[in-house]
Structure 1
Amino acid sequence: MNTQQAQRRHIDAILRYADDGSPPESPGSELIGRSWTRCLRDYGLDPSRPRSARIVTQQTLREHQDSVDEFLSVARAGVEQLYGMIARLGYVLLLTDHRGITVQYLGDQRSDRRLRKAGLYLGADWSEPYAGTCAVGTCIQENQALTCHRIDHFDATHIGLTCTSAPIRDPSGKLLAVLDISALDSPQARHSQTFALHLTQLYARMIEDAYFLRRYRNQTVFRCDASREFVQVNGQYLFAIDDEGGIGAANTAGRSLLDGRPETGDGASLTQLFDCRLRDIWSIPYDQDDQVRAFRLRQSGETLFAALIQPRAPVPTTAGKPREHSEDVVPELDRLAADDPVMRRTLGLAKRLRNRDVGLLILGETGTGKEVLARAIHAASHRSRGAFVAINCAAIPESLIESELFGYVAGAFTGARARGMRGLIQQADGGTLFLDEIGDMPLPLQTRLLRVLAEGEILPIGADRPVRVNCRVIAATHQDLGERIAHGQFREDLYYRLNGATLRLPPLRRRADRPHVIRSVLDTLVAQGRLSAVRLRADAMSALLAYDWPGNIRQLVNALAFAEATCEGGEITANDLPEECVSGCLPPADDGPAGDESPLRRALRAEQGNISAVARRFGVSRPTVYRWLAREGIALRRLPG
């Protein structure tokens, strides 16, 4: 049976259902039948007139995304993790708001046109009154997880799809969003989607709970589960409580324990829910080695195991002289990372060594912030009153590097300054000398540098007596010095002289604290006056977090500077980011009759080449329009009048 025949047969089945209620081949449950009835009687949808996918304008999409901005920033990790599991199976992932508008989308760009035509795309409207019976819209109406498989769909153009959705609720129990995974080409058998339903429900619950913990991060959360071993990491029931044990909010599972009440509050407390006293709750972290206590539900007698998640507290200040160990509070270094394990180990070692005059070798890819770390170590050390002198060994011409490093006396060579010049090493006396890209230093100068480090003195060009220098040396490179030593390009004795300790900086793409790095870099650029005050919207943050950053933090600085220069209204969106940082930002598809001219060309013609007017017409920024022009190969001067 070809596609048109299958669609005609599906339309006939729905019309028979409308006329006499005769059961079709599907729906597979009463739930789908109720949805078909709503489509026919409440929405007045005509099965013989299928609707094309509706993609809202960029402006409308932005309004929907703004309404769930905080939620999107929390949901991002779960959405990306789930998509990583299903992408190879041919699924796309949609996250919609409570009205059915797709506010986040992940899919295979190779199938971009087919997916957009089917409505499996960013900005698509999957509300039941418009799209008919479908996983997202029917999930919203029925307030439960479901699979809408092939001919379950009301619209005949959707009968090749399989879609599975699960609701995500806010802490008050109201529908907040819908998580959906869909496939264009699905197996015939309905049971093939059983695992998809379980997986979608699992991730919907994980995202919901992460949002709950984010919302109540400044309040004590009582977390409990049937398993003592799992409660600390994956407790099923969450309750935000006050000092008297009163329940201010609960996740979906938690609300199911509250006598079926849809709302929390109204005097509900843990001492009413569990057979316990208030002191039993607050003593959880202290009475048991594993910080878990067993509680019994009053109504059912079931035993649950509970732990407390304490609210965030400010970092205590240390009175008196600080101790030199990794737990010290050192603002200059602490601000460089959040919870990335590699960075915390590196910074812990830097704290312990900041006041020790041992050589430090900082290793990391280009752009990872090696000089930033070196400056922070200097600022946190007892040498902070001295100068920090940075030398890029790869940038100084080889003919000048000796005079730049060691200086010279008056008349040392033709063209020399009349009074001579103090070299960079001497300028660092009492402070810190930072040798960046040390791996590119010429071998003859490596020999002279080794003598400086060994003897603590330099001999300026033309001088007959050495000059004493007391400076701390920190070197850095992105190269493999072991390999350069093996090839005779770097002195082994200099390597061991420089490498009193090695500090490794991970590339940005591998850092677990990328959100902190992005916000910190932006805040620093604003504080330095290099950028105006702007905020990152959730879609921009998601794009920045998904990008691979081959140029690391240095590239991030440039990307943020570009976005700040092109954004409007003091808010950076994904459309304002450089092209290489964004995927899926494509010009609108042509929903009109087929023809040789694209909607973008027609808009340019109608607006007489005015880019700002075209941007307003599509509800996007000007940089987005320019990217569309480049992608379609449109030059404004070639457009006929």
Structure 2
Amino acid sequence: MTMQQAQRRHIDTILSYTDEGVCAALSPESELIGRSWKRCIDEYGLDPSQPRRARIVTHQTLREHQDSVDEFLNVARAGVEQLYMNIAKLGYVLLLTDHRGITVQFLGDRRSDQRLRKAGLYLGADWSEKYAGTCAVGTCIEEGQALTCHRVDHFDATHISLTCTSAPILDPLGNLLAVLDISALDSPDPHSSQTFALHLTQLYARMIEDAYFLRRYRNQTVFRCDASREFVQVNGQYLFAIDGDGCVEAANTAGRSLMWSHGNGSDTKLTSLFECELRDIWSIPYDQDDQVRAFRHCISGNTFFAALIQPRIKSTAFASSDALPTDESVPELDALAADDPVMRRTLGLAKRLRNRDVGLLVLGETGTGKEVLARAIHQSSHRSRRAFVAVNCAAIPESLIESELFGYVAGAFTGARARGMRGMIQQADGGTLFLDEIGDMPLQLQTRLLRVLAEGEILPVGADSPVKVNCRVIAATHQDLGQLIEHGAFRADLYYRLNGATLRLPSLGERADRQHVINRVLTHLIDQGQLPDVRIRADAMSALLAYDWPGNIRQLVNALAFAEATCDDGQITANDLPDECLRDPAIAATSVERDVDPDESDPLLAALKKYRWNVSEVARRYGVSRPTIYRWMQQQAIEAPRFQSKI
């Protein structure tokens, strides 16, 4: 088919679509392209059978358009040049237009200058939809979204050999500022050939938009956050310009979407967007070594990591760290967490209540460190000079728990000590009694414990008169005490007596400060002489951070002890970790590879066969490294065939 025949066919296709609304030749963005075709005919009065020559504005008009976005062009130049370096060898040119579609910056191959100018891929070209018809730039302006206008998507029949991809760049208030476009004179037929071009253009549009945002608000504090702690300082996705009261004055596109999900639009305080207080925001640069703090989003509950970009002109709101309002420093409690939002809230409550004699109920999964928290509360309280007595209610046999808790007098029962024994409650007199796994305490003893709490005295087994005691009780459990009360297994009155305040511990897999916990646990084991001085290499730390830790901190201690025993040269690598800390091939196959051969009993072998023994591809699908796949193969005695079919 000649070019003239192709153009004639294209004109017929547009006229047929605008008359009947049906066309099989449209791209996957058919509705968007179809709307544009209708605008071209119904609103702009364009005729597809009358192609229009490229419109290049005069030098004076171009200068006026460039001057109107001069500050933006200074910021965008670096990103535009970097993007062009990545696409030039692929035959693309780059256009940056203003919000009216006039090309204010252009980069292209001068050897194709005449063809590019004729096609309108040139400095000063007008790509507004009203003049050029359906095209990436003009339709992006009208629709307000990134898109690819590929070959026959164009309205003008002379453009059907072009492929153009555009993404909008918005100003800090959400208004269209510019359009970034990459185009090629010739391209493959499939629309899917431009998928990567669309992603790349959107990426650079966001980078330019964010750079302009930071330039505009360089004299204000910017709250930058991201789902990744590692990237927030260099490429934080969400940007908020804030005043001294934490009110958002402007936000980038991602930041505005986060505010809209909160329901307040642009009228938002960070303290209502995230679960935090104002002092948590202003103390970010001073509280953490990496100057990053975790926050929890009020609506989604997702964790975001934030850093502050300080203005060049110092804000008078908080000019120095001395002026920052901060929580009371309690080293025993502060050491238990870095910046996990749940832990920060729990420890803040613990600080306020550590010297109050109200009962505390610590809730958390097995191994989350409930006793560690209780001991830290005791050590930081006015009772720290007296004993901390820990009782595991699930570990003491039911026949002995009464005498262990309340003690007994001489001759109370056969086998009793001649002088009797002070029970654990009496041993904690003046100090703290920690009742772990309180949900496993027998009902009969619950009644006696309630009397102790109510009257402040105990009656040892076999004794005639009670003994006064004064101890602070902290109870803990991993069970749902509400359900136990419903089933008659736990006394409601004891629950309310114990639960003066509830302290919740998140599981290790949920904590935003997992790396802090891992390092703290390792340091503690080394300081206690339980492990020699070892360090965790980066690959091992990545694996530890990726693992979900069903056994929590208790499992972490065991994993570190195992890794130290198997490592060389005092460095723990990923290969030294227990197998359960690395992603299991069967689990990975279930979650990632649901389309392997169902008759294949070994999921790893099935995946290797499916991807023709391409170990790199299998590793990518499982989300692990190639050495891990090879290690799994060795463990399962899987050998790759010596000759593999290329068909």
Q: TM-score, normalised by structure 2?
A: 0.48
Which structure would you say has the larger RCO, counting Cα contacts within 8 Å and 6 or more residues apart? 1
The structure with more radius of gyration: 2
